[in-house]
Amino acid sequence: MVRIDRDRRANMCRNGAVPLLAVLLAGCMLGPDYRRPDLVIPAQFTGEPKTASPTAADTAWWNQFGDPQLDALISEGLRNNQDLVAAAARVEQFYGALGTTRAPLFPQVGAQAASSRTRASEQTISPAPTINPYNATQINLLASWEIDLFGRTRRLTEAATAELQASESFRRGTVLSVVAAITTGYVDLREQDRELEVAIETLALRKDTLNLFERRFRGGVVSDVEVSQARSEYAAALRTISALHQAITERENALSNLLGRNPGPIARGRAVNELTVPVVPAGLPSDLLERRPDIRQAEEVLMAANARIGAAKAAYFPTISLTGAYGQASRSLSDLWGGAARVWTYGVDIAVPIFTAGAIAGQVQSAEAQQRASVAQYRKDVQAAFSETENALIGIGNAREGLDATVLQVSALSNYARLARKRFEGGYTSYLEVLDADRSLFSARLQLAQVQGDVLLKAAALYKSMGGGWIGLADQEAPQPDVRLSERPTIFP
């Protein structure tokens, strides 16, 4: 048996100096074989804390929030989200395209049957047949096979396989995005709910103050200036409540869309300050190359572009097709199966490009440029993943520090507001000091709700940026494509 080293065989193909016998025995694959581009990968994340958990990224991290209602919403979204349904269908689309691309690697067999009745003219130069009109019946078995000597179909199949895997990575990336989006939307909703509670509590206090000042004004104790100030602060709280109602409605509708529902209310569970912050997951930067679906998708797209270079170069070389037909043909149906009615044909078709006015060279140039663009995009996606993860790791630490500082601020401002009101009631200060304390406390309490939500959002962003085995756990509830995908399907017969 003749064996040819793969690299040596490829060089021989590129140079056009392939012995016919070696080609027939081994064939060749034009174009470069895929190699992952060289990447500069950091040794570790600088923002990762010492308490990070090495296994957290492989668990259903949203359960750590401790809110069964959030868990139920995520399960509902995974089952019903329309982006996930579309992504699953997209995988099936690429699976079908792979079958179509791969089919020419095998002989194509078909059958043909035809029957007709014809009357020929007796007034033409050519004599009419003895039997006129006459019948004609023919049944043929057809076969053809284009020999993939230079690997064009195999390279196209390699590209189609990579595109199929890219569509599956995109689907898994959609699972990641849906879980993160529902978590983020729910946390935002609970944060806005808390802000609304604070605004309603503040409105009630300001209403009491306004009523008190109006009574004092009627008694001649305070001036119209102080009443107007109290009324202004009451109106400001009303405006805040109105804006929060609008924001909450929009957030509920956005969540309903993620859940595959029509717009409507969303059931609530624990308050934002009662939700538990998930533990920080651990991982090396190199892990992201395999754990993040978007990076795997970018690499699969690169693989497809790399394979299409070989398919384009194969157009320089001859195409060889074997064709054949076998059947029966007769004027009479009763004689159709006799030996005299047998017909057959076979042949070899060879097509050789001689002058294409640069068409093939243009295709090769385009394929090579697309491959270079895909390399750049892959490296860009990897760098973006490193940045996102680093930002999330640093962000969650800073958010926790900000939460501690805001809690201290609210405590201090609460005391300030209490003392300012006592001083005003004792006649030691003007109402301006009370207004200042009240405004500051209201703003700080709203900010506290936002910072509490921000810590939870940073944790969700961290799990999203790091990827991991949790995507597989979530994927178990998502719509699945009706195809069987292996880690790397076999593409060569």
Lowest mean pLDDT among 212-216, 230-234, 409-413: 212-216
By residue range, what is the domain housing residue 64? 31-106+149-317+358-475
Q: Are residues 64 and 51 part of one domain?
A: yes
If asked whether residues 2 and 57 sit together in one domain, one would say no
- What pLDDT score does 337 carry? 74
Q: Are residues 36 and 17 in the same domain?
A: no
Q: In the predicted model, is pLDDT for residue 269 greater than 90?
A: yes
Question: Is 373 a domain residue?
Answer: yes
* Lowest mean per-residue pLDDT among 180-194, 211-225, 269-283: 211-225
Residue 426 is assigned to a structural domain of this protein: yes
485 occurs within a structural domain: no
Structure confidence at residue 223 as a pLDDT band (50, 70, 90): confident
Identify whether residues 154 and 10 lie together within a single domain. Answer: no
| CB of 371 closer than 8 Å to CB of 309 | yes
Q: What is the mean pLDDT of residues 332-340?
A: 72
Specify the pLDDT at position 330: 79
Provide mean pLDDT across the span 172-193.
Answer: 96
- Asked if residue 295 is part of any domain, the answer here is yes
Confidence of residue 1 (pLDDT cuts 50, 70, 90): very low
CATH number of the CATH domain containing 394 = 1.20.1600.10
> Considering the domain boundaries, does residue 327 fall inside one?
no
Would 480 be classed as within a structural domain? no
pLDDT in tens, 92-150: 999 999 999 999 989 999 998 888 888 888 778 778 777 778 788 888 888 999 888 88
Distance of CA 58 to the CA centre of its chain: 19
3-state secondary structure of 115: strand
Flag whether 283 is in a domain: yes
Asked whether residue 133 is assigned to any structural domain, the reply reads no
Q: By mean pLDDT, which of 58-62, 128-132, 378-382, 392-396 is the weakest? A: 128-132
For residues 268 and 69, is the Cβ–Cβ distance under 8 A? Answer: yes
Asked whether residue 371 falls in the same domain as residue 305, the answer is yes
Quote the CA–CA distance of 68 and 77 in Å, as a whole number: 14
Q: Mean pLDDT over all residues of the chain?
A: 87
pLDDT attached to residue 478? 94
**pLDDT above 80 for 334:** no
66 and 78 belong to one structural domain:
yes
Query: What is the count of structural domains for the chain?
Result: 2
Compute, in degrees rounded to 10, the torsion defined by CA atoms 179, 182, 185, 188: -70
Percent of the chain's residues with pLDDT above 70 = 92
According to DSSP, the β-strands at 108-118 and 134-147 are: antiparallel
Per the CB < 8 A criterion, the answer to whether 71 and 270 are in contact is no
* DSSP 8-state code for residue 483: S
What is the helix, strand, coil percentage profile of the chain, to 5?
65, 10, 25
Q: Both 278 and 304 in a single domain?
A: yes
Higher-pLDDT residue of 462 and 131 is: 462
The 10s digit of each residue's pLDDT in 62-72 is 999 999 999 99
Give me the pLDDT at residue 270, please.
Answer: 96
Residue 27 has pLDDT above 80, yes or no: no
Q: What DSSP line would sit under 355-418, residue for residue?
A: --TTHHHHHHHHHHHHHHHHHHHHHHHHHHHHHHHHHHHHHHHHHHHHHHHHHHHHHHHHHHHH
* Stretch among 8-17, 341-350, 371-380 having the lowest mean pLDDT: 8-17
List the structure tokens of 262: 């029509």
Inform me whether the pLDDT recorded for 2 exceeds 50: no
Q: Strand, helix or coil at 265? A: coil
What is the pLDDT averaged over residues 12-40? 64
Query: Residue 340: pLDDT above 90?
Result: no
> Does one domain contain both 52 and 71?
yes
Q: What is the pLDDT of residue 485?
A: 62
- Asked if residue 281 and residue 225 are part of one domain, the reply reads yes
pTM reported for the whole predicted model: 0.85
Q: Are residues 5 and 64 in the same domain?
A: no
Residue 409 clears pLDDT 80, i.e. is over it: yes
Residue 315 has pLDDT above 50, yes or no: yes
So what's the pLDDT on residue 37?
Answer: 92
Q: Is the pLDDT of residue 388 over 50?
A: yes
Q: Check whether residue 22 and residue 154 sit in a common domain.
A: no
User: Which tokens belong to 78?
Assistant: 């995974």
DSSP alpha helices (H): ranges in 6-133?
Answer: 6-15, 20-26, 68-80, 82-102
